[in-house]
Amino acid sequence: MIEICAVGGYNEVGRNMTAIKVGDEVVILDMGLHVEKYVTYSGDEEAEKLGLSDLTRIGAVPDDSVIKEWKGKVKAIIPTHAHLDHLGAVPFMANSYNAPIIGTPYTIEVLKGILRDQKKSIKNPIKTLNPNSRMRLTKNIEIEFINATHSTPQTVMVVLHTKEGKILYANDYKFDAFPVIGKTTNTRRLRELGKEKVAALIMDCTRAREPGKTPSETVAKEMMRDVLLGTENRDNLIILSTFSSHIARLSSVLEMGKKINRKVIFMGRSLAKYIEAAEKIHIVKFSKEAEILKYGNEIKKRLRKIDASPQRGKYLLVTTGNQGEPNSVLSRIATGELPLKLRRDDQVIFSCNVIPTPVNIANRDILEYKLAQKNVRIFKGIHVSGHASKEDQRDLISMVKPQHIVPAHGDIQMTSALSELASEMGYSLGKNVHLIQNGQKIWI
Ligand SMILES: [Zn+2]
């Protein structure tokens, strides 16, 4: 018998965590933050000082009291990728488990960076496993990482090979046949799994309501080329903002920056953190060609110099602030807190979507209003998603042919949409499609 417990991320987008019990052994997949609740509770800096019980109470981390009887049985904690909603609760929660953290080299580098930044330490052993490889965890459980494309490097789907059957955990993936960095999702292996009888597929349903296929990252790169190389911007300053962990997107910016003869400068703490992790494991080498400024003082100094320069058209600034976060570099430029005056016809490019929460929508509206007041030209939505859409999800189900499907990573509308797709494909709700809520368990 396999028991699957929805610990977090089954009522909402965020704080992903799933526990799987086979025999007397448990594996935890993802241990994520609800980033918005974490940040907005009392500001980023303050939240770092909150204790685990506070964070659980406000819903910023998964409530793992539901698996308290399983605590001594946990054999591994596996964050599938470097996004905070999958990894960010590890510094707060992992200590209460006597189990190693296992992730891909990039995920682990980011985790180490977060631990350094938060001045936290965890006693769990930390191990790396490359995408498309396997590791024996116990006599009865072997884990396998299958490479997946997403919006941060070295994302994996995880297979648990157990004597009760195989479980595939595919939380956050897309089928990108033309990724800008890294390999494609390993569809050959997924098709093979389809022949090996997969007992359960736990899958990302964030974009289950989106028809069609999620476009390749190459499309976002071409959209960026179109704006940077196809508009009148020779003498104007250009500022671009995107997700800090999106290394592929950042590498496209750098490439385009060179094409238009601009000096690319990355500015902001989180950008520097994710780039540093990518450089450490040799995915990219941005610091050879670009400046990377992490701290407030160095950013101020550099902005003052750019502001005084007669050649504003020499620079392409990449800043934090794509969601309009009030403390970000872009927001503070817009409010005049940082020493760079925006001028008429300067360009601001948002290479992202707005993650649709009330706080983000309000923050971005305020930022765009302030930019518009300065007659800045705004380009929005230069972006493609990192999540599978409906037809990608259909492909995953047809490749893997799981006996049971468990929609994860979404609210009830999203999980229901995936359940409807499964019904179209011959599955039936309650029988082999399971809509579960945080705190619930199912037995297979
Ligand atoms: Zn993700």
With the C-alpha atoms ordered 90, 91, 96, 99, is the resulting torsion angle positive or negative?
positive
Mean pLDDT of the chain: 96
**Residue 356 pLDDT level (bands cut at 50, 70, 90):** confident
Half-sphere exposure of 17 (CA within 13 A, CB side): 29
Q: What is the dihedral of CA 165, 169, 173, 179, to 10 degrees?
A: -60
Distance 150 CA to ligand 1 centre (A): 7
Measured distance CA(214)–CA(384) in Å, rounded: 7
Distance 173 CA to ligand 1 centre (A): 8
Nearest to 346 by CA among 372, 318, 319: 372
Distance 233 CA to ligand 1 centre (A): 33
pTM, to two decimals: 0.96
- Read off the pLDDT of each residue in 382-405 and give the average, rounded to a whole number: 98
329, pLDDT greater than 90: yes
- Read off the pLDDT of each residue in 181-207 and give the average, rounded to a whole number: 97
- Tokens 């090996």 correspond to 196
Measured distance CA(398)–CA(276) in Å, rounded: 38
pLDDT for position 160 = 98
51, pLDDT greater than 90: no
Measured distance CA(354)–CA(50) in Å, rounded: 27
Kindly report the CA angle at 224 between 373 and 173, in degrees rounded to 5?
110
pLDDT for position 355 = 87
pLDDT for position 79 = 98
Q: What is the DSSP letter of 431?
A: T
pLDDT for position 50 = 77
pLDDT for position 148 = 98
Distance 86 CA to ligand 1 centre (A): 7
Distance 107 CA to ligand 1 centre (A): 11
92 and 50 Cβ atoms separated by less than 8 Å: no
**Residue 316 pLDDT level (bands cut at 50, 70, 90):** very high
Percent of the chain with pLDDT over 70: 98
Helix H or strand E segment including 21: strand 17-22
Distance 390 CA to ligand 1 centre (A): 17
pLDDT for position 300 = 98
**Residue 206 pLDDT level (bands cut at 50, 70, 90):** very high
Half-sphere exposure of 179 (CA within 13 A, CB side): 23
Helix, strand or coil for residue 186?
Answer: coil
181 and 214 Cβ atoms separated by less than 8 Å: no
Distance 125 CA to ligand 1 centre (A): 24
Task: Give the strand order in the sheet containing 165-170.
Answer: 133-136, 141-148, 155-162, 165-170, 198-204, 404-408
Measured distance CA(174)–CA(216) in Å, rounded: 9
pLDDT for position 128 = 98
Distance 244 CA to ligand 1 centre (A): 12
**Residue 357 pLDDT level (bands cut at 50, 70, 90):** confident
10 Å CB burial of residue 197 (0-12, 13-18, 19+) is exposed
Q: Residue 357 corresponds to which tokens in the numbers above?
A: 């929460």
Distance 251 CA to ligand 1 centre (A): 18
What are 111-126's pLDDT values in tens digits? 999 999 988 999 999 9
226, pLDDT greater than 90: yes
Distance 308 CA to ligand 1 centre (A): 39
265, pLDDT greater than 90: yes
Distance 109 CA to ligand 1 centre (A): 16
Distance 262 CA to ligand 1 centre (A): 31
Distance 145 CA to ligand 1 centre (A): 16
pLDDT for position 304 = 97
What are 72-119's pLDDT values in tens digits? 999 999 999 999 999 999 999 999 999 999 999 999 999 999 999 988
pLDDT for position 358 = 86
**Residue 136 pLDDT level (bands cut at 50, 70, 90):** very high
Distance 345 CA to ligand 1 centre (A): 34
- Read off the pLDDT of each residue in 352-378 and give the average, rounded to a whole number: 94
pLDDT for position 133 = 98
Helix, strand or coil for residue 154?
Answer: coil
pLDDT for position 46 = 60
| Phi (first) and psi of residue 303, to 5 degrees | -65, -40
Distance 349 CA to ligand 1 centre (A): 22
45, pLDDT greater than 60: no
Mark out the alpha helices in 11-151 (DSSP H runs): 35-42, 44-47, 52-57, 84-87, 90-93, 105-117
Delineate the domains of the chain, giving CATH numbers in brackets.
Answer: 2-213+386-443 (3.60.15.10), 217-379 (3.40.50.10710)
Distance 88 CA to ligand 1 centre (A): 11
Nearest to 277 by CA among 110, 67, 58: 110
